[in-house]
Structures are given as C-alpha cells and as structure tokens.
C-alpha cells in the first residue's frame, strides 16, 4: 500500500532539496535563471516534492504564498509543519505511510486533498477544512462505514474517492455514502446519478428510523407515492415520446453520455475542472430543457390543430346530417 524504506535512505526536506525542486519544475532557461538569481521561496506558489524519499516534512514555513504542494510518493509518516501554509488550496500526500489525519487545522482554504494509499483508519481532525471540494482517501484502512458521516460537514464536497478501503465491501456502501452526502457529483471515479440519489434518500429514511412501526409507515408511504409517481411518469413518458422529446427534461441525456466514462472523474484533480464541469452540466441540461419545452409546445400546438380539425369535421358532419334529415322530412311531407 505505502512506501517502504528498509532498503532506501530517508530524507528530510531542507533548503537544498527545495532549491533543486524549484529548478526542476521551471523550464530549462528559467532553471538557469533561478540558479543565478536565487529565487525567493516566499514568492513560490507551487512546489512539487514527489519521489524524494521524504520521511519528515520540514522547512516549508518560508513559503508564504504557496497554493499547491505535492508530497506524494514518499515515506512520510506524520502530517506536520504545514501550519504556516495558510494559502494552500491543493495538497497531495498520496502514497505515503501516514496513519493519522492531523496537522491541517490552519489550512482553511484547502479545496483539494489527497491522502490516497496510506495507512489511515479513521476520518478525523479536518473540521476547519470548510472549503474542501475534492477528497481522495482511497486505498487506506477505513473499516467503519458510519465514519463517512463525518464528511457531511463539508458542504462544498463534490468529488470523493474511498475505493480500496475495507468499508467498500459493505453491500450498502454506495447507497449509504450518497444518502449522507447528497451533493456528491463523483464517487470513486464514477458519476453519481440522480436515480442513485433518489434511492439513497429512501435508504437514509430507513437508517434513521429504528422502530418497526416507523419502518412500515415509511415503506407504505414511499411505495404508495412510488406507485402514483410511476403511473404519472408513464403517462408523461408516452406524451414525451409522441412529442419526440423523451428524457430531455432533466439530466438523463447528460448522465448517459458519461455513464461509462471512468476517466472523467480523474479530470476532477485538474485545477478549475470542478467549477467548469458543474457549469457545463448546468448549461447542457438548460439547453435540453429548452429543446424539451420547445418540442412540447410544438406537440401541444399540433394537438390543438388536430383537435380543431376533428371538431370542424364533427360540426360539418352534424350539419350535413341535420340537413339530410330535413330533406327527408320535407320529401315525406310532400308525398303523404
């Protein structure tokens, strides 16, 4: 799961390592410039310290403007010495040996946090991360499904990865997570569908009701509503099919396009992707609804025209029948 260091020499972050990292992440010509000018650490906004056998985090207090820090693929055992990085938005601590979530209290601007592939057994000590949008804690030692409820405090959380933890083996895993985190857009690299959210909402109702009577009432009410809703849904679907706008009044078309796209969720780790994807989804659905409404109006117009035509035919037929009866009556009167 995590990095071992019995055969490698562990390192501690120092100025030499940092300087080298800054030079490496700059273009060749800029790298030479940084060596000549000795760039000021306080002006650096991004720092990548991946694959450097780092055992202990140290010497990062100098980075006053740092917004992105990558410490993945090291042998770090403890989250520490990050309290001065108050502007940090992105933190990657994946593929390390971390056992406890700690030392994040001051990172109140953090939006993306990856603790993937560590040794963490409990989600905790993250109360101040109110801006968190993307959280990856897959492939750890999380065993208790109810611990996921802790994440409800993060109202902006849209992407969550728990894949590879023992708790994922629970047969109620998917419904439980979505029921308690209804604002999720992606779970374990997959798009969360509206249908899953609806089903999980009822599932949450079952979880919260502990008594048999409450269970029965909830079941009866939901099934009664479901039966009525299903009947109405069938009628609506027939109407929509006739109007050639079926499944355009919602997110169905958008969701179906991404249903089997397992790569889409990985893009969520790119800066700005989440906001763009949410905006794109809203605009896509908005266009679908406009097409739906336009098609439905066209259908209603056609129906009105057809109805008017048949009404005219009916009136003409009635008038002809009345005229025919009058002619027959006159004929019979003259021949008496």
Backbone CA torsion sign across 229, 232, 238, 242: negative
Burial zone of 115 (CB within 10 Å; 0-12 exposed, 13-18 middle, 19+ buried): buried
End-to-end CA distance of the chain: 110
Mean pLDDT across 92-97: 94
Least-confidence region, from 73-77, 90-94, 230-234, 254-258: 230-234
Q: What is the pLDDT of residues 141-178, one digit of tens each?
A: 999 999 999 999 999 999 999 999 999 999 889 889 98
Closest CA to 7 of 56, 72, 51, 53: 53
Would you say residue 332 has pLDDT above 90? no
Contacts of 27 (CB under 8 A, 6+ apart): none
The predicted pLDDT at position 299 comes to 77
Q: What is the DSSP letter of 108?
A: T
For residue 212, what pLDDT is reported?
A: 39
C-alpha distances (whole Å) from 95 to each of 72, 74, 98, 142 are: 6, 7, 9, 15
Q: Compute CA 259 distance to the chain's CA centroid, rounded to the nearest angstrom.
A: 13
Domain residue ranges of the chain, discontinuous segments joined by +: 11-208, 269-334
Q: What is the pLDDT of residue 23?
A: 84
CA dihedral (309, 315, 316, 321) in degrees, to 10, reads: 150
- Better pLDDT: 318 or 275: 318
Residues 248, 292: contact at Cβ < 8 Å? yes
Per-residue confidence band for 221, with pLDDT thresholds at 50, 70 and 90: very low
User: How high is the pLDDT of residue 116?
Assistant: 94
Backbone angles phi, psi at 224, to 5 degrees: -65, -45
Q: For position 225, what pLDDT does the model report?
A: 45
The whole-number average pLDDT for the span 62-77 is 92
pLDDT, tens digit (0-9, with 9 covering 90-100), for 29-41: 454 444 545 677 8
Give the separation between CA 72 and CA 59, rounded to whole angstroms: 17
Q: Which two tokens stand for residue 136?
A: 């990856």
For residues 35 and 248, what is the distance between their CA atoms, to the nearest angstrom? Answer: 58
Which one-letter DSSP state was computed for residue 98? -
Tens digit of each residue's pLDDT (9 = 90 or more) over 129-139? 999 999 999 99
Say how far apart CA 106 and CA 88 lie, in whole Å. 9
Residue 118 has pLDDT above 90, yes or no: yes
* pLDDT at position 36: 42
Q: Pairing state of beta strands 68-70 and 159-161? A: unpaired
Residue 281: pLDDT over 90:
no
Q: In CATH, which superfamily holds the domain spanning 11-208?
A: Ribonuclease Inhibitor (3.80.10.10)
Report the chain's mean pLDDT, rounded to a whole number.
79
Output the pLDDT for position 327: 84
Q: Measured between alpha carbons, how far is 24 from 35 in angstroms, rounded to an integer?
A: 11
Of the pLDDT bands very low, low, confident and very high (cuts 50, 70, 90), residue 309 is confident
The number of beta carbons lying within 10 Å of the beta carbon of residue 74 is 28
* Whole-number Å distance between alpha carbons of 306 and 242: 14
Band (pLDDT 50/70/90 cuts) for residue 8 is low
């Amino acid at each position: 799961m995590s990095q071992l260091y019995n055969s490698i020499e562990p390192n501690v972050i120092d100025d030499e390592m940092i300087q080298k990292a800054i030079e490496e992440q700059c273009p060749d010509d800029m790298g030479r410039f940084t060596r000549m000018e000795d760039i000021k650490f306080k002006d650096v906004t991004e720092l990548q310290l991946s694959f450097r056998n780092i055992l202990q985090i140290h010497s990062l207090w100098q980075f006053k403007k740092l917004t992105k820090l990558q410490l993945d693929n090291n042998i770090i055992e403890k989250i520490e010495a990050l309290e001065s990085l108050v502007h940090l938005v992105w933190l990657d601590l994946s593929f390390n040996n971390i056992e406890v979530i700690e030392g994040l209290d001051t990172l109140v601007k953090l939006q993306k946090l990856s603790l993937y592939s560590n040794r963490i057994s409990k989600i905790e000590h993250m109360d101040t991360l109110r801006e968190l949008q993307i959280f990856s804690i897959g492939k750890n030692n999380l065993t208790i499904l109810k611990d996921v409820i802790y994440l409800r405090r993060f109202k902006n959380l849209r992407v969550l990865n728990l894949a590879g933890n023992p708790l994922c083996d629970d047969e109620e895993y998917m419904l439980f997570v979505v029921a308690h985190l209804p604002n999720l857009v992606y779970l374990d690299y997959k798009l969360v569908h509206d249908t899953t959210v609806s089903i999980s909402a009822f599932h949450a109702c079952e979880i919260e009701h502990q008594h048999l009577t409450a269970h029965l009432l909830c079941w009866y009410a939901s099934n009664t509503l479901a039966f009525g809703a299903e009947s109405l849904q069938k009628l609506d679907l027939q109407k929509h099919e006739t109007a050639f706008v079926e499944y355009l009044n919602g997110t169905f078309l958008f969701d179906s396009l991404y249903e089997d796209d397992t790569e889409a969720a990985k893009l969520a780790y790119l800066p700005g992707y989440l906001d763009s994807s949410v905006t794109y989804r809203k605009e896509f659905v908005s266009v679908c609804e406009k097409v739906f409404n336009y098609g439905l109006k066209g259908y209603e117009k056609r129906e009105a025209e057809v109805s008017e035509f048949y009404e005219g035919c009916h009136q003409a037929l009635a008038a002809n029948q009345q005229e025919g009866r009058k002619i027959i009556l006159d004929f019979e009167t003259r021949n008496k």
